[in-house]
Structure 1
Amino acid sequence: MTRQLFRCLLIGGLIGLAHAAASADEVPRWRIDPVHSRVVLRVSHAGFSSALATLSAPSGELHYDPEDWRSAEAQVVLALSRLDFGDADWNRRMAKSDFFDVRRHPLAQFESTRIVVLDSTRAEVHGLLTLRGVQVPVSLSVQRNAVGRKLPWLVRERVGFSARATLQRADFGMDRYPTMIGDDVQIEVEIEAERARE
C-alpha cells in the first residue's frame, strides 16, 4: 500500500511538473522593437532644472499573456554607448569611469523576478538591474497601453507598455558631485514588442 501510494504521488508530481513546463512554454513571447522603444533618465541639476538623457534601441524579450500578467517575464538589454544627454562633451563626461564607465561596462541589463498584478492593465514589476557591474533590486510601475494589430500594415500582434521607476545613482557607485547632480534618478520607459513566431 505504501509503495502504491508513493508511485501515485510520484506520477502525480511528474504530471504536475510536465503541466507547469507546458504552461510556461505556452506563454507568448514578444521581441522588443528597438525603433519604438526608449528609456528616459531625469535627474536634478542643482535644483535649477531636470537634466534629461535618452537611451535608445533597447533589445530583449518579454514573456507575456495579455489575459494573465502572473506569468509575465522581461529581459531587457541597453547599450550605454547610446546614452545621450544632448551634448557631446557631457556625453563623454558621463561615459567615464566615475559615472557610467562605458568602456568597462558597455551594457545595462534588467531581468524581472516577480510580478504583482494590480488590474488587467497595470502591474508592479520587480527585478534586478545590473549597471557598472553592480546589481540592484528595482521596482517598476507598469501600464499596458495596447495589444493587438491596431495598424492595418502590421503582420503580427504588438504590445506596448509604459513604465516608471526611481533609482539612486549612489547605489551603483555613481556618487560624484552630490551638490550638483541629484541622487534620485527618475526612469521613464516606453516599450513596444512584436509577437515572436512560435
Structure 2
Amino acid sequence: MAVAAEIPGYAPGTWDIDPVHSDVSFVVRHLGLTRFRRSVEKYRGEIVTGTSPLDSSVVASVDLTSLDTGLETFNRHLAGPDFLDLQNHPTAEFSSTGLHASGQDFALDGELTIRGITKPVTFALQLHGFGEGIKGESKVSFSASTTIRRSDFGITFDARLGNGRLIVGQDVQLLLEIEAVLRETATG
C-alpha cells in the first residue's frame, strides 16, 4: 500500500485542475468498427490530497455543451434527448467516495451523474507524480480511466445497421489526463 513517504514530492493540499494542460475525453465504438474519440473542452475540478494519499478526494464538473464532434449533425443528435439531453442536463458531475491501492496504482471510487442519473464508478488511476511547474508552482499529474454503459445513464439510442451492429456502441470509455495546481492559501 502506498503511503505519502513513498510518493516523491507528495504534498497534502487543495489542487485545481488546469484545463490548459489536461484532457477529458471519451471513446465509443462507431458502426461496430471504429473507436471514436472526442474531448470535452470545458471542465473544472478540485483534488484534495490528505495527510495520507488514501484520504484524498476529487470533485469535478464537465460542461457537456462544450463537446464538439467536428460534425454539426452529430453534435445536434448528441445534444438531443436520444443521447445527452443537454437542454435538461448540461453537465456531468463526479464526486469521489474513496481511494485505495490497486497494485502499483490506485482505484478511485465515486459517483458519476449523467442526465440526472447517478451511478457508482471506479476509475483506474495512475499517479504520474508531484513536481514543480515552470513558474515554480506545485503541480500533480495523473491519468484515470473507466468504462461505463451508456444505457445505465438513460442513453438508450440503439439504432443498428443492416448487419445488426450498433451505430453507437453501448460501452463508453472515459479517459482523463489531469494536471492540477496547488491552490495558494491566503495567510493573514
Amino acid at match of 1:168: R
Q: Normalising to structure 1: TM-score of the pair? A: 0.80
The answer on 1:84 being equivalent to 2:61 is no
Trace 1:21-170 onto structure 2 (pairs within 5 A): 27-65=12-50, 68-118=52-102, 122-149=105-132, 151=133, 153-170=134-151
- 1:82 offset after TM fit, Å? 0.8
Superposed CA RMSD in Å reads: 1.7
CA contact (8 A) 1:30 1:61 kept: yes
Amino acid at match of 2:127: R
Unaligned 5+ residue runs, structure 2? 1-10, 160-165
Q: Normalising to structure 2: TM-score of the pair? A: 0.84
CA contact (8 A) 2:17 2:179 kept: yes
Q: Which structure has the highest helix share of the two? A: 1
- 1:99 offset after TM fit, Å? 0.7
Higher relative CO (CA 8 A, sep ≥ 6), structure 1 or 2? 2
Q: Which structure is larger by alpha-carbon Rg, 1 or 2? A: 1
Q: Give the ranges of 4+ consecutive aligned residues of structure 1 lying more than 2 Å apart after TM superposition.
A: none
The answer on 1:190 being equivalent to 2:171 is no
Distance 2:37 2:23 in 1: 13
Distance 1:182 1:189 in 2: 20
Task: Report SS of the residue matched to 1:57.
Answer: strand
How many residues matched?
169
1:152-190 per-position Cα deviation (integer Å, ceiling 9, x unaligned) = x32320001101100000001101125211101111111
Task: Report SS of the residue matched to 1:126.
Answer: strand
Percent identical among aligned pairs is 33
Distance 2:124 2:96 in 1: 12
